[in-house]
Chain A
Amino acid sequence: MAYNFHFDPVDLPPECQELRQEVRTFLRQEIEAGTFSPTGGKGSFSKAFARKVGARGWLGMTWPKQYGGHERSHLERYVVIEEMLAHRAPNRSYATADRQSGPVILRYGQEEIKQKILPQIASGDLCFCIGLSEPNSGSDVFAASTRATKTEGGWLVNGRKIWTSNAHNSDYMIALLRTSPKTKENHRHGLTQFLIECKSPGITIRPIINLTGQHDFNEIFFDDVFVPDLHLIGEVDMAWKQATDELAYERSGPDRWLETFSGLVELVRRAGPEPSERLAEGIGREVAHLATLRRMSVSVAGMLHAGKTPGVEAAVVKDLGTNWEQALPNKVRLLAPPSGDSSPESNDDRFEEALRHTTLIAPKLTIQGGTREVLRGIIARGLGLR
């Protein structure tokens, strides 16, 4: 009997529904005030917006109050995240810290660091990036070779990280660094997580422009960068144990199936209330996929809420979700009613903007945060094949 993945239906409790309406009202006001555009792909970094979200109590929602958190449930946090994403709110300055860096610090960081850093994440004041990939270590995360060498009162870091999103805007990075060689028994041994201040002396950040023309990626050079002992996160050499739980949070969230949603919204707008049978069919198919993915994603949130670690289920959601959202822009393009010199101009701009944005970002969706190939390997292991 093979492993069977379970995605039991989850009912979001009443407090989630109230919260959803609060978030929608907030976002409607922000859109009306011109803070951001729900179709655009640009200008999504805004610390001012992050601080507004923090002031509402929507960052660090599940963390203890003593660290600036709000002790709310994973399901409540889930609702806030999906509403932000569905409306394309400018979340870039806080999303990584709220989703990944904060929880890692909370779980493995030293007390003094927790007290200093977490409240600033919860207020929206800090931006984080993730220092995982290196020139020779991409999908093979545990091949990282950027070194941290013990010195008086801390560590000296030398090497290079690459594809680091948002590093140029970030205050801190959580980096995976080599502190010992890997062992014969465990090729994942010898890596340690550190909190590194991005403005530290010895750090050089070089932009890498991506194919959309935007500066998101960076290459980061470390030249004898001093990191104090206080910034050690968790056990030396044992980061591989710490990284596993983190991924369940990263991999099943709404950001794994909502990245190109704006294209579908604008297709529906362009279709009007009485579309052709062909267009209705095309829209219906995509809506069914979307609705099912959301069910599964909420279900994983429910498992996290119940204290489980649904690593394989999360990989299933990310694999299905990213494949779907990647294929969506092309379907939207081919379903769209033909545009021509005689077609009305209204709505065309929004549609074009959404289609351009989603088409250009599509390739990265099955690469970032674990490639399709890595995910299928995880699922295959869950099936007992490896």
Chain B
Amino acid sequence: MTDSIIVDTATRIFADLCEPGTVNAAEEGQWPKALWDALEESGLTLTWVPDTLGGAGADIIDGFAVLRAAGRASAPVPLAETLLAGWLLTQAGLDAPAGPMTIAPVYEDGHIELANRSLRGRARHVPFARNAEHIVVLAYEAGTPSVALVPTSGLAISPGTSLAGEPRDTVTFDGATAVAVGPAPGLGTLGLVQLGAAARAQQMAGALEHILDQSVQWSLDRVQFGRPIAKFQAVQHSLAALAGEVAAAGAAADAAAEAIARYGIGGELVAAEVAIAKLRVGEAAGTGAAIAHQVHGAMGFTYEHSLHHATRRLWTWREEFGNETHWATQLGHMVAARGADALWPFITQGS
């Protein structure tokens, strides 16, 4: 169970400070300072850092719930990335700084070298690199995984954008110096990607909840043939199908969050739950966004209408930290290796 005060605080901040206009302005390059400052002042940005390391010391599950709320609001800030960065720092026992952070690498095959605080390597599609004050890098020092805290000032950042118009930058670390370094044996890029996938699954589940609300409301307001389109059975059944996808996405995302909160990153059960969640939520994102757009008609295809804030993020997030094909293949191999008679025990292992 999540701490409702933390989630309520986040929800209120998004309601007050994350209007559609804020999201559009962010896409134009305007940093949503008021929104970020409010999140930071409430301690929400360091949810996954214990108070001994300068964080809020909340439960892992509360961080996931905050990300669900952020996804609902299409919040154009590196909240998930700062939570992930804080988690990485914590794994190495490093203090967390204030300000927006992001992580690198974001791919399982990413590789950044570390020697005496000096870094070498390149990371692609780093979310919000240009907005972050620090990048927390999972680097390898003589083959040992280490966590390095790197200030962005002076880094070579080449801008790129996601389908949602959010920064996804290429960062070159060659010659950069970390201000803090700590070994994190037992950690690997796979673990980071798993936590990233679970975080994105929550954001997507939130965005899906939002487009269901938006689509239902639109169908009740929009009148055609003399009545609200919500009264047409074809529209009702489309929205019922959307509701099913939204419900499945929420359940799958929560299962992964609960497993991580209970067992931490690393085990086989968590690996399975993350794969299931990112895959199932990714499928729901595709199906769900298509239904939401169909219900909204031409209006939902305009830049003026805010539906695309959520749908373009869904199309971005489903591809990040492993897409459906990636996780399906992993999961399929896991199941096949156990064999047919272990399939049912595999399905029931979590509960």
Secondary structure class of chain B's binding surface, majority of residues: helix
Q: How far is the CA of A275 from the CA of B333 in the complex (A)?
A: 7
Determine whether A377 belongs to the interface, using a CB cutoff of 8 Å to chain B. yes
Q: At the interface, yes or no: A334 with Cβ under 8 Å from chain B?
A: no
Give a binary string over A299-320; 1 marks a CB under 8 Å from any B CB, 0 the rest.
Answer: 1000000000000010010011
A296 to B347, alpha carbons, bound, how many Å?
A: 13
Q: Mark B154-177, 1 if CB is under 8 A from A, else 0.
A: 000000000000000000000000
A294 touches B348 (CB 8 A): yes
Cβ A288 vs Cβ B328 within 8 A? yes
Per-residue 0/1 for B207-219: is the Cβ within 8 Å of any A Cβ (1 yes, 0 no)?
0010011001101
Contact of B331 among A272, A288, A295 (CB under 8 A): A288
- Check A8 against B336 for contact (C-beta < 8 Å): no
Return the contact of A288 from the options B230, B240, B243, B280 (Cβ within 8 A).
B280
Contact A320 B275, beta carbon cutoff 8 Å: no
What's the least CB distance linking A233 to chain B, in Å? Answer: 32
Contact check, A376 vs B279: say whether CB atoms are below 8 A apart. Answer: no
A276-290 contacts to B, CB under 8 A, are: 277, 279-285, 287-290
Contact between A385 and B333 (Cβ–Cβ < 8 Å)? no
B347 A287 Cβ-Cβ under 8 A: yes
A287 touching B332 in the complex, CB below 8 Å, given contacts A294-B347, A376-B236: yes
CA A351 – CA B246 in complex, angstroms?
34
Q: Does B21 contact A (CB under 8 A)?
A: no
| Docked-complex contact A283 and B244, CB < 8 angstroms | no
- CB of A287 within 8 A of CB of B216, answer no
Give A185 Cβ to nearest chain B Cβ, in Å.
22
**CB-contact partner of A296 in B241, B251, B272, under 8 A:** B251
Q: Tell me, in angstroms, the Cα distance from A158 to B200 when the chains sit together.
A: 60
Alpha-carbon separation in the docked complex, A272 to B332 (Å)? 11
Report the Cα distance A386→B332, complex, angstroms: 41
Contact B336 A383 (CB under 8 A): no
Whether A281 contacts B329 in the complex (CB less than 8 A), given A265-B340, A288-B252, comes out as yes
B351 in the interface, Cβ–Cβ < 8 Å? yes
Contacts of A1 in B (CB 8 A): 213
A373 at the interface (CB under 8 A from B): yes
| Given A7-B247, A11-B351, residue A386 in contact with residue B236 (CB < 8 A) | yes
Rounded to whole angstroms, the CA-CA distance of A188 and B239 in the bound complex is: 26
* Residue B231, interface by CB 8 Å: yes
Provide the B333-350 mask, 1 if CB < 8 A to any CB of A, else 0: 111110111011011101
CB of A91 to closest CB in B, whole Å: 16
Q: Mark A1-45, 1 if CB is under 8 A from B, else 0.
A: 110111111111000000010000000000000000000000000
Known: A2-B213, A274-B336, A376-B236. A265 touches B351 (CB 8 A): no
**Residues of the A chain whose Cβ atoms lie less than 8 Å from the Cβ of B330:** 284
Contacts of A377 in B (CB 8 A): 233, 236-237, 240
Point out which of A87, A295, A319, A320 has the most chain B C-beta atoms below 10 A from its C-beta.
Answer: A295
Residues of B within 8 Å of A, CB-based: how many? 56
Any chain A CB within 8 A of the CB of B128?
A: no
Q: Given that A296-B247, A376-B240, A383-B239 are known contacts, is A280 also in contact with B255, CB under 8 Å in the complex?
A: no
Question: Which one of A268, A284, A376, A384 lies within 8 Å of B216 (CB-CB)?
Answer: A384
Q: Are B237 and A288 in contact (CB under 8 A)?
A: no
- Is B258 in the interface zone, CB < 8 Å from A? yes
Q: Return chain A residues, CB-CB under 8 Å to B334.
A: 284
Given contacts A273-B339, A291-B276, A385-B216, contact A5 B243 (CB under 8 A): yes
Instruction: Indicate if the CB atoms of B243 and A295 lie closer than 8 Å.
Output: no
A98: interface (CB < 8 Å): no
- A376: chain B residues at CB < 8 Å are 236-237, 240-241
Provide the residues of chain B in CB contact with A319, threshold 8 Å: 240-241, 244
B327: CB under 8 A from chain A? yes
Asked if B62 CB lies within 8 Å of chain A CBs, one says: no
Task: Tell me the complex Cα distance, A292–B247, Å.
Answer: 10
What are the residues of chain B within 8 A of A6 when measuring CB–CB?
250
A81 to chain B minimum Cβ distance, whole angstroms, is 13
Contact across chains for B213 and A273 when beta carbons are under 8 A apart: no
Chain B CB within 8 A of A298 CB? yes
Interface string of B259-303 (1 = CB under 8 A from A): 000000000000010011001100100000000000000000000
Q: Let me know if A266 is at the binding interface, CB within 8 A.
A: yes
Interchain CB contact (< 8 A) of B239 among A272, A285, A320, A385: A385
Are B351 and A386 in contact (CB-based, < 8 A)? no
Q: Are B327 and A295 in contact (CB under 8 A)?
A: no
Taken together as a complex, chains A and B put the C-alpha atoms of A332 and B235 apart, in Å, by: 31
Interface string of A236-263 (1 = CB under 8 A from B): 0000000000000000000000000100
14 pairs across A/B with beta carbons < 8 Å?
A: A9-B251, A12-B351, A265-B343, A272-B336, A280-B329, A284-B327, A284-B328, A284-B332, A288-B252, A288-B283, A292-B276, A296-B247, A316-B243, A380-B237
Question: B residues bordering A, Cβ < 8 Å?
Answer: 209, 212-213, 216-217, 219-220, 230-231, 233, 235-237, 239-241, 243-244, 246-248, 250-252, 254-255, 258, 272, 275-276, 279-280, 283, 324-325, 327-337, 339-341, 343-344, 346-348, 350-351
**A-B CB proximity, top 5 nearest:** A280-B332, A284-B332, A284-B328, A284-B331, A269-B340
Name A residues whose Cβ lies closer than 8 Å to a Cβ of B: 1-2, 4-12, 20, 82, 86-87, 261, 264-266, 268-269, 271-275, 277, 279-285, 287-296, 298-299, 313, 316, 319-320, 373, 375-377, 379-380, 382-386
- Having A265-B343, A273-B336, A383-B239, one finds 4 other A-B pairs with CB under 8 Å, namely A11-B351, A265-B341, A291-B347, A295-B252
